[in-house]
Amino acid sequence: MAERRHAAISAGSGAAGFGLEATRKFVGNGARVVVADIQDEAGRAIKAELRGKVRFIRCGMRRKAGMQAVVDLAVAELGGPDVMYHNPGTIGSAKGVDETSVEAWNAAMEMLQTAIMLAIKVAAPALKARKGAIILTSAAVGVRLYHRQGLGLPDRPPCGADGREARARGST
């Protein structure tokens, strides 16, 4: 039987927060990881911390070309991903809908919803080839919103992470 290489992609905040902890957990379990994040300094820091186990690529999640570059790097340098941990996020506008510009709304939706679809679309062929899996993060608020038709929470942005949680659940 061929030896499995255990390669992962940690995309969308792969160098900070939950993504950083996922990256550390993957490496701790023997995986080599492609970390995708827009935070250069954090990306360089995790690469230095986990020497030889992490490849860092600066990448936003809102464009297909960016996600394709992440997957291409995983295929070229790691033989392909066995798992993709995808955790895109933005707070979006802290204003009410009546005060939020269409441009701000669209930018948040690209990050909070389109990025999920693009990650699945772009990574699926490489993951299928290795019988891999995708992990989309979602918090408990997503369960409540998903089952309550996206009613939202008080004092939270109308296009913020609350809705992303529900959309992540609905995407799979």
Residue 85 in domain: yes
Residue 150 in domain: no
Domain with 50 in it: what CATH number? 3.40.50.720
Q: Which domain holds residue 105?
A: 7-139
Residue 69 in domain: yes
Strand order in the sheet with 32-37: 54-58, 32-37, 7-11, 83-86, 133-136
- What is the C-alpha to C-alpha distance for residues 167 and 169, in angstroms, rounded to an integer? 5
Nearest CA to 90 out of 39, 48, 145 is that of 39
Amino acid residing at 35:
V
Residue 131 in domain: yes
Say how many domains are in the chain.
Answer: 1
> Where does residue 80 fall: left (phi above 0), alpha (psi -120 to 50 degrees), or beta otherwise?
left
* Contacts with 11 (C-beta within 8 Å, 6 or more apart), sequence order: 19, 34, 36, 59, 61, 67, 70, 84, 85, 86, 87, 88, 119
83, β-bridge pairs: 8, 133
Please say whether the beta carbons of 11 and 33 come within 8 A.
Answer: no
Residue 16 in domain: yes
Record the pTM: 0.77
What is the per-residue pLDDT across 21-60, written as a single tens digit (0 to 9) for each? 999 999 999 999 999 998 899 999 999 999 999 999 998 8
Residue 41 in domain: yes
How wide is the angle at C-alpha 23 spanned by C-alphas 20 and 25, nearest 5°? 110
Residue 84 in domain: yes
Residue 162 in domain: no
What is the per-residue pLDDT across 99-153, written as a single tens digit (0 to 9) for each? 888 898 888 888 878 888 999 999 999 999 999 999 988 665 555 544 444 444 4
- What is the C-alpha to C-alpha distance for residues 103 and 163, in angstroms, rounded to an integer? 18
